[in-house]
A = this chain, B = another copy of it.
Amino acid sequence: MGTIRTIVEEQSGQTVLRRQIPYVRPQSWRRLLIGDRLSNADAPHQTIPKVVGLAVFASDALSSTAYATQEILAILALAGAGALPFALPIAVAIVALLAIVTISYEQTIHAYPGGGGAYIVARDNLGELAAQTAGAALLTDYTLTVAVSISSGVAQIVSAFPALLNWRVEIAIGMVLLVTLINLRGVKESGSAFAIPTYFFIVMMFLTVGLAFFRYLTGSLGQVVNPPPLEMIHEVRAMSLFLLLHAFSSGTTALTGVEAISNGTTAFREPRSRNAGITLIWMSVILGTLFLGITFLSGQIGAVPSEQETVISQLVRTVFQGQGPLYLAVIAATTVILIMAANTSYADFPRLSALVAGDGFLPRQLTYRGSRLVFSRGILSLAALASVLIIVFDASVTRLIPLYAIGVFLSFTLSQAGMARRWWRIGHLAPEQEVKDAGSTLHYEPGWQLKMVINGFGAFCTAIVMLVFALTKFQDGAWVVLILVPLIVLGFYTIHRHYKRLARRLSLEGFGPPPLIRRHRVIMPIGGVHRGTLNALRYARTLTHDVTAVYVSTDAATSDRVRLKWEHWGEGARLVVLESPYRLLMEPLLDFVDEVCTYRQPNELITIVVPQFVPAHWWQNLLHTQAALTLRMALMRRKGIVITNVPYQIDEEEPTEEHA
């Protein structure tokens, strides 16, 4: 025990004691794994500059360049190799969409300097249902981000080391565990450590793309040597608009992660909205450039979508003419950025689930911060869910992709529609009028019309994409998400109803002075007459003089012995013997309690006093029936009954006459 500081406060005539217990319990294995406990006072308050901000928030978005091109090609390949050149115009369309979304989110960042994730924006402007829908969609997608990013990271490793092909799932699960552990340790270490790999990735990718363009322009780029065989998970189809839209849908995964900066505006240095906005634009420019470049170059070298070797790997080894150190460096950088993208979800998922839980739509436990100040339960839930996805989908990016990004686009749509609604409300305020919103204060702003149109257009585009997505990928797996999200929302509301009802039941509003307890009756089930029983009897008699001991008898000889002993030791308390010819113990007792309750007076309190052995070692519990526990479970639901356990510790020392 540390030193307990006691602070005595006088508040309106009542003495209030405030005690500070500096408690740190050393737990060797936990400390080794996740580090020492952190105090509330250790919560990080530092903000980060733009350069670090880009590194922290961009990994998710940038990492999608590692698979977006490949997924476009994988769909186009269904119409034969001749369809592959369509990838470039599709990529252009996606970059245009990226621009729209970026401009739209730039506005959100300025409107919500305190952090404007889709959940908050929807809640403030579109109401609860929209917010919960956004929440469900985002939580689903964060989970998928982990599964997709880790799977893609493993695919890069497998490209470089084909011998590992059959260990994909195991490697992926190992990575999930590693990222989980890092996140349980908390964010303190992770902040600036992010900068190095992100910039390494950016530099390596620009080096690859730049060199490739140089070779292309000088005509020395050439084709992929030994491309992997073209595998197809679907049947061959004719080229069609449907197929084009399908490929487009798959490619839009490039946009996932764009919303990250608007969620985390508070992390930036002041003027934070401006800094965050600039970072967002930078990120989108880098993302767009790389994505277009990779798509264009993949077409030029004749890269082939495959589970055995990623398109990135094919491109890089063509550019660097072999699998030398530079090849390995780019693949390593790509793998690391993919793992860091998964890591982003480890920040987002627990934070959002704590937000949803704080509003009462998820278990409250998700709002508690663990010993390292992180939402440990959220982190563990995410790890479990993502692992299940990886195992079920065999760590295959192509099989996971159809489920991915619907949630993101749903949240994009809700977030931007919410912003449009916000501008509409702002536009209809009288000058000087102030409206307090849940999160912010609204003032009239000139030029709201343009802003509303921009956000509205963003919402419109993303809604269309979402529809295209749902239609073209429905069969491949999108239906799972289309069923899952409404079910999650339903779950949210079920939980919410419980908490609301609980609050009503517990509310002290209109709670009058409670009636006095006029009679107190104790029922004490006993299994024999011994020190433990007498100890409990003595306790029972301090509560009331109306004590009834109850013994359930399964054979007459033993019950006669109990009766004789009770005569001598029972201090005159009533003994009821319940005969149980079917050798049941609990049921006759419950029946007896029910019977007693039937004849209960108003304002009569019934306490069940249960003598309970506590053996010295846990395994010794196996040597005793856990009657006290079973009884507690059974009586818990009966109203107006209080259950008291009087423990009697059996230990190594000789018994003493000590009290209780």
Assess whether A436 is interfacial by the CB under 8 Å rule: no
The answer on a CB contact under 8 Å between B495 and A517 is no
List 15 contacting pairs A-B, 8 Å CB cutoff, sorted by A.
A4-B591, A16-B575, A17-B574, A17-B575, A18-B577, A24-B582, A363-B624, A502-B650, A505-B531, A506-B528, A517-B539, A517-B542, A637-B649, A639-B649, A640-B659
Closest to A515 in B: B659
A588 CA / B502 CA spacing, docked (Å): 27
A590 CA / B634 CA spacing, docked (Å): 28
Chain B residues with CB under 8 Å of A520's CB are: 542
Assess whether A110 is interfacial by the CB under 8 Å rule: no
Chain B residues with CB under 8 Å of A443's CB are: none
- Cβ < 8 Å to B, chain A residues 610-631: 613-615, 620, 622-625
Chain B residues with CB under 8 Å of A620's CB are: 498
Assess whether A126 is interfacial by the CB under 8 Å rule: no
The answer on a CB contact under 8 Å between A582 and B39 is yes
The answer on a CB contact under 8 Å between B643 and A578 is no
Mark contacts of A640-660 with chain B using CB atoms, 8 A cut-off: 1 yes-contact digit, 0 otherwise: 111111110110000101111
- Cβ < 8 Å to B, chain A residues 487-527: 495, 498-499, 501-502, 504-508, 511-512, 514-515, 517, 520
A613 CA / B499 CA spacing, docked (Å): 12
Closest to A612 in B: B636
Question: Smallest Cβ distance from A25 to chain B, in angstroms?
Answer: 6
Closest to A640 in B: B660
Assess whether A592 is interfacial by the CB under 8 Å rule: yes
Assess whether A584 is interfacial by the CB under 8 Å rule: yes
Assess whether A300 is interfacial by the CB under 8 Å rule: no
Closest to A362 in B: B623
Chain B residues with CB under 8 Å of A594's CB are: 1
Assess whether A579 is interfacial by the CB under 8 Å rule: yes
The answer on a CB contact under 8 Å between B642 and A660 is yes
* Given contact pairs A498-B620, A514-B534, A595-B1, A642 touches B644 in the complex (Cβ within 8 A): yes
Question: Smallest Cβ distance from A94 to chain B, in angstroms?
Answer: 41
Q: Beyond the given A370-B583, A508-B529, A640-B659, please list 20 additional residue pairs across the A-B interface where CB-CB is below 8 A.
A: A4-B595, A16-B563, A20-B578, A23-B580, A38-B582, A39-B581, A40-B582, A41-B581, A363-B623, A363-B624, A371-B583, A371-B584, A506-B532, A507-B530, A508-B565, A514-B535, A605-B660, A636-B647, A641-B660, A642-B660
Question: Smallest Cβ distance from A535 to chain B, in angstroms?
Answer: 7
Q: Is the contact region of chain A dominated by helix, strand, or loop, or is it mixed?
A: mixed
The answer on a CB contact under 8 Å between A19 and B579 is yes
Select A592's contact among B21, B40, B660, beta carbons within 8 Å.
B21
The answer on a CB contact under 8 Å between B530 and A19 is no
Q: Which of A21, A41, A514, A555 has the most CB of B within 10 A?
A: A21
Assess whether A46 is interfacial by the CB under 8 Å rule: no
Chain B residues with CB under 8 Å of A587's CB are: 21, 23, 25
A352 CA / B108 CA spacing, docked (Å): 76
The answer on a CB contact under 8 Å between B511 and A23 is no
A16 CA / B368 CA spacing, docked (Å): 54
How many chain copies does the complex carry?
Answer: 2
The answer on a CB contact under 8 Å between A21 and B508 is no
A439 CA / B371 CA spacing, docked (Å): 62
The answer on a CB contact under 8 Å between A622 and B575 is no
Assess whether A270 is interfacial by the CB under 8 Å rule: no
A344 CA / B316 CA spacing, docked (Å): 72
Question: Smallest Cβ distance from A174 to chain B, in angstroms?
Answer: 29
* Given contact pairs A40-B554, A567-B12, A640 touches B658 in the complex (Cβ within 8 A): yes
Chain B residues with CB under 8 Å of A18's CB are: 577, 579
Which 10 pairs show the lowest CB-CB distances between chains A and B? Answer: A506-B530, A39-B581, A644-B644, A640-B660, A20-B579, A37-B582, A21-B588, A17-B576, A363-B623, A506-B531
* Given contact pairs A642-B660, A650-B502, A495 touches B23 in the complex (Cβ within 8 A): no
The answer on a CB contact under 8 Å between B582 and A23 is yes
The answer on a CB contact under 8 Å between B511 and A534 is yes
Question: Smallest Cβ distance from A581 to chain B, in angstroms?
Answer: 4
Assess whether A428 is interfacial by the CB under 8 Å rule: no
- Cβ < 8 Å to B, chain A residues 14-72: 14-25, 37-41
The answer on a CB contact under 8 Å between B655 and A505 is yes
Assess whether A572 is interfacial by the CB under 8 Å rule: yes
Chain B residues with CB under 8 Å of A15's CB are: 574
Q: Which of A535, A563, A623 has the most CB of B within 10 A?
A: A623
Assess whether A451 is interfacial by the CB under 8 Å rule: no
Chain B residues with CB under 8 Å of A588's CB are: 19, 21, 23
Assess whether A190 is interfacial by the CB under 8 Å rule: no
Closest to A582 in B: B37
The answer on a CB contact under 8 Å between B14 and A567 is yes
